[in-house]
């Protein structure tokens, strides 16, 4: 399962909730790119993510006797589509190649939950740790996340707005909706 979206959408909190549904889970965060130049950072992202994602999903296939095992990615290649363009000055088309190379059974077991929010609301609630502190940048990130959602070939995906009007939805509402999305497929 991949949890993606804008900063201040509650990814960490909702991941904790999803983990509470089972005792058997693994959570991995997409690494911050390492390197001194944009090129080194791009190569790190390509190699590290593709390798790690493949290993996790290979392990997932090998553990068929453990059907309740939940693998969660807190950010993934989808986020690189956004942040590679915004902050590393390149268009990471390689991420779509990564999706194309998943075999049928692995791809069928991957879920994408895209958490989105009104950029104005997320800025009002920002803790100062977000990459973008300006409305125009946050709005552009939102557009790129929506574009990535549409470009992704993951068949089991949900775009979910955590805001409604001028406020966040309740945590209970969001978590009930996320659980319903997963339960509907099982």
The domain segmentation of the chain, as residue ranges, is: 2-185
Q: What is the pLDDT of residue 139?
A: 93
Q: What is the pLDDT of residue 88?
A: 76
Query: According to CATH, what is the number of the domain 2-185?
Result: 3.40.50.300
Q: What is the pLDDT of residue 39?
A: 75
Cβ-in-10-Å burial (0-12, 13-18, 19+) of 165 comes to: exposed
Q: What is the pLDDT of residue 15?
A: 92
Check pLDDT > 90 for residue 150. Answer: yes
Give per-residue pLDDT as tens, 54-100.
666 565 556 554 556 777 888 888 888 998 888 878 888 888 877 77
Q: In whole angstroms, what is the distance from residue 18 CA to residue 123 CA?
A: 25
Ranges 69-78, 129-138, 145-154, most confident: 145-154
Q: Taking all residues of the chain, what is their mean pLDDT, rounded to a whole number? A: 81
């Amino acid at each position: 399962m991949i949890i993606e979206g804008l900063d201040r959408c509650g990814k960490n909190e909702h991941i904790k909730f999803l983990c509470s549904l089972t005792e058997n889970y693994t959570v991995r965060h997409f690494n911050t790119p390492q390197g001194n130049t944009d090129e080194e950072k791009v190569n790190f992202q390509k190699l590290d993510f593709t390798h790690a994602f493949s290993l996790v999903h290979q392990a997932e296939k090998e553990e068929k006797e453990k059907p309740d095992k939940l693998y969660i990615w807190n950010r993934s290649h989808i986020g690189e589509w956004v942040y590679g363009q915004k902050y590393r000055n390149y268009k990471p088309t390689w991420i779509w190649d990564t999706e194309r190379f998943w075999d049928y059974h692995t791809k069928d077991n991957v879920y994408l939950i895209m958490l989105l929010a009104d950029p104005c609301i997320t800025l009002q609630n920002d803790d100062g740790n977000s990459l973008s502190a300006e409305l125009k940048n946050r709005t552009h990130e939102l557009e790129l996340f929506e574009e990535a959602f549409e470009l992704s070939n993951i068949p089991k995906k949900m775009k979910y707005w955590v805001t409604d009007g001028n406020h966040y939805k309740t945590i209970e509402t969001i978590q009930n909706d996320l659980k319903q999305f997963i339960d509907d497929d099982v």
